[in-house]
Amino acid sequence: MSGPAGQPSWRIEVLLTGSMRGASSVLISNGRLHIVVDTGLPHEESVLVGALERQELKPSDVQIVVNTHFHVDHVLNNRIFTKSLIYAPQESYDWAKRLYADLRVEGDWEKLVLRYYPEVMDDEKALSYMSALRRFALRWWDEQRLGSRAQFRWLESQPLPDGMEAVITSGHVPGHASLLISNGHERVVVAGDALLSRAHDQRVLTMIPVNKKLYGRDRERILSLGGRIVPGHDAEFQNPDAPAKTAEPA
């Protein structure tokens, strides 16, 4: 899969630009193998299909979908990729399924949500976060849109194609995966929500981290990497603080 020494072998294009209201979706392609990382919300389906068309691809050309985690804004167009395998962290899948089911339990959900977000009450905006989370869950969560169970391959046990590595960054949600892609001498990081935004995390409309301390460490770790970085909810940038790895001496 890797090109001649030093030649980029993967082309990485942002399909949906991350914003405070929507998650990044990224195409990774070497011309034969086409991979889409995260798939957005239902109302973004036509935008995603249009972005693929501009790359001369149809959803059925995409062999692999990768989900960084199972918050609604990252997974709900999986179902258009009917021919794809879906690589995702099982820990995040199981956690999100239980969370979204418990948020439907009338009367008891405020107590149940603390199992998933034990730190939420430390935050002065706890109640507004929790009710926003519930509103999102009731409005959007739809397991039909995740693709069929037979499509899933769990990242915990299934390696990604050569040149790509899933790094577990569990501060945002348990099992969350960020992707590191070595592309010749360039490194590309598809961070998912381990890095919400380059500088403005607090503006992003998502839940607080499950583990604030760990999220801080994940964020630092991502920002210590040189190269192109695609945050979960912000435009991509070239990280200037840590220059991309240069060629090893021959």
Binding residues (CB under 5 A) for Zn ion: these are 23, 73, 193, 206, 232
**Smallest separation, CB 136 to Zn ion (Å):** 11
Q: Choose between 163 and 232: whose C-beta lies nearer to Zn ion.
A: 232
Q: Choose between 187 and 193: whose C-beta lies nearer to Zn ion.
A: 193
**Smallest separation, CB 198 to Zn ion (Å):** 15
**Smallest separation, CB 195 to Zn ion (Å):** 11
Q: Choose between 35 and 96: whose C-beta lies nearer to Zn ion.
A: 96
As beta bridge partners, residue 13 has 27
**Smallest separation, CB 45 to Zn ion (Å):** 17
Q: Choose between 183 and 206: whose C-beta lies nearer to Zn ion.
A: 206
Distance between CA 158 and CA 79 in Å, rounded?
21
**Smallest separation, CB 18 to Zn ion (Å):** 8
Q: Which of 217, 219, 200, 206 is nearest to 96 (CA)?
A: 206
Distance between CA 75 and CA 38 in Å, rounded?
6
Sheet holding 11-16, edge to edge: 11-16, 25-29, 34-37, 64-66, 85-88, 152-154
Sheet holding 177-183, edge to edge: 164-168, 177-183, 186-192, 227-231, 237-239
Q: Choose between 130 and 226: whose C-beta lies nearer to Zn ion.
A: 130
Instruction: Pinpoint the alpha helices (H) of the chain.
Output: 45-54, 72-75, 90-102, 109-116, 126-140, 212-223
